[in-house]
Amino acid sequence: MDTVMTLTYHGQDRESGREALEEGVAEVYELEDLLSVTAPDSEISALNEAGQAYLSPDTAQLLSAALELCALTGGALDITAYPAVEAWGFTTGEYRVPNQAELEELGDHIDYTRVSLDQESASLPDGMKLDLGAVAKGYTADRLAKLAQERDITSALLDLGQSTILALGAKPDGSPWRIGIQDPQGEGYLGVLELEGQAMGTSGGYQRYFERDGVRYWHIIDPATAAPARSGLLSVTVVSPSGLACDGLSTALFVMGLERGTQFWRDYPELEFEALFILEDGSLALTSGLKDSFTLAQGYEDREV
């Protein structure tokens, strides 16, 4: 998954913690083998290559959940944005800025509603490719949490890298896990988020990007333009019991921006998520459910939305 992960388990004794860790690591590699869009042998690569593929239950389950999030977010999350991600060079590091005609052509091939999925296979129209990169780490976090719970582990911190973190239970001393939220414009943390039995995911323009002629281009694509999303945000962090929801919704909210994003939050209380938006001017806005769990570092100001 192209990142560094840190998995911390607290078991009854050293041995049970170690076993949980080993099982978790094996699970990450197994899921990566199925889901990675850059591994030529993955099920997703097979689907992109042939336009049709049989899927294992895990892949089918995640694809189905991802398509649901695409629909709920009105296409702000769109797992078929992949050809645009490629065209901008984010898959190879050979960055370029496609011209308007190319962007329009790319835009014509972004449409998650044209992915068809049945029990054990999926298909895609010609010219389309899909990528579960916006949800895979969150889904993996949920899977690791479930495996740990089956082993009666009640305290774990599953940090899947690039700000996708799931806190299983509290710390062994009973206090919540404390996660620093990175300042997108600086070196340090702009605040601390307390998590207990919850996940968080951050999507931001500062994690993977390149610059051309003084303009910054990042890896989160607005499906409406096939270009990097410019919604006035530097980053957005989502907190929810579900790692999958955190990952998928943070990407979607980054595309939506503050106004659409907070409207979405009001419209979907059943999704049980909260959000922390960092705006381009460096200011912060957070939804009411984070009031007690987020503490600002000195020198920063926030407001409730």
Q: By the criterion CB under 6 A, which residues form the site for ligand ADP? A: 77-79, 81, 85, 90, 131, 133-134, 137, 162, 164, 203, 207, 219-221, 223, 247, 250-251, 255
By residue count, the chain amounts to 305
Q: Under the criterion CB under 5 A, does residue 66 sit at the interface with Mg ion?
A: no
Token reading at 259: 């106004």
Please tell me the distance from the alpha carbon of residue 218 to that of residue 214, in angstroms, as a whole number: 13
Which phi and psi angles does 216 have, rounded to 5°? -95, 135
How far apart CA 278 and CA 264 sit, in angstroms, is 17
What phi and psi values does residue 172 have, to the nearest 5 degrees? -55, -30
Between helix 136-150 and helix 243-267 the angle, nearest 10°, is 120
* Binding partner selected for residue 53 from Mg ion, ligand ADP, none, CB under the kind-specific 5 to 8 Å limit: none
* Torsion angles phi and psi, residue 90, rounded to 5: -70, -20
Q: What is the size of the binding site for Mg ion (CB under 5 A)?
A: 4
The CB-of-275 to Mg ion minimum distance in angstroms stands at 13
Residue 110 binding result from Mg ion, ligand ADP, none, given CB thresholds of 5 to 8 Å by partner type = none
Burial of residue 171 (CB within 10 Å: 0-12, 13-18, 19+) is: middle
Backbone angles phi, psi at 139, to 5 degrees: -65, -45
- If the CB atoms of residues 45 and 155 are measured against ligand ADP, the closer one turns out to be 45
Instruction: Return the number of the residue (254 or 294) whose C-beta is nearest ligand ADP.
Output: 254
Closest approach of ligand ADP to the CB of residue 158, in Å: 14
Near Mg ion by CB under 5 A, which window of 29-37, 107-115, 126-134, 237-245? 126-134
Nearer to Mg ion, 131 or 247 (CB): 247
Nearer to Mg ion, 115 or 153 (CB): 115
| Site of tokens 């899921």 | 31
The residue within the footprint of Mg ion, chosen from 183, 194, 222, 247 (CB under 5 A), is 247
Nearest residue (CB) to ligand ADP, 153 versus 157: 157
- Hey, which residues between 137 and 176 contact Mg ion (CB under 5 A)? 137
Residues with Cβ within 8 Å of residue 86, at least 6 apart in sequence: 92, 129
Residue 286, both tokens: 């957070």
Say which entry of ligand ADP, Mg ion, none residue 81 contacts (CB below 5 to 8 A, set by partner kind).
ligand ADP
Nearer of residues 247 and 302 to Mg ion, judged by Cβ: 247
Picked from Mg ion, ligand ADP, none, the partner binding residue 258 (CB below 5 to 8 A depending on kind) is: none
Q: In angstroms, what is the minimal distance from the CB of 133 to ligand ADP?
A: 4
Note the Cα 163 to chain centre separation in Å: 8
Q: What is the CB neighbour count within 10 angstroms for residue 96?
A: 13
Residues found near Mg ion in the complex (CB under 5 A): 134, 137, 247, 251
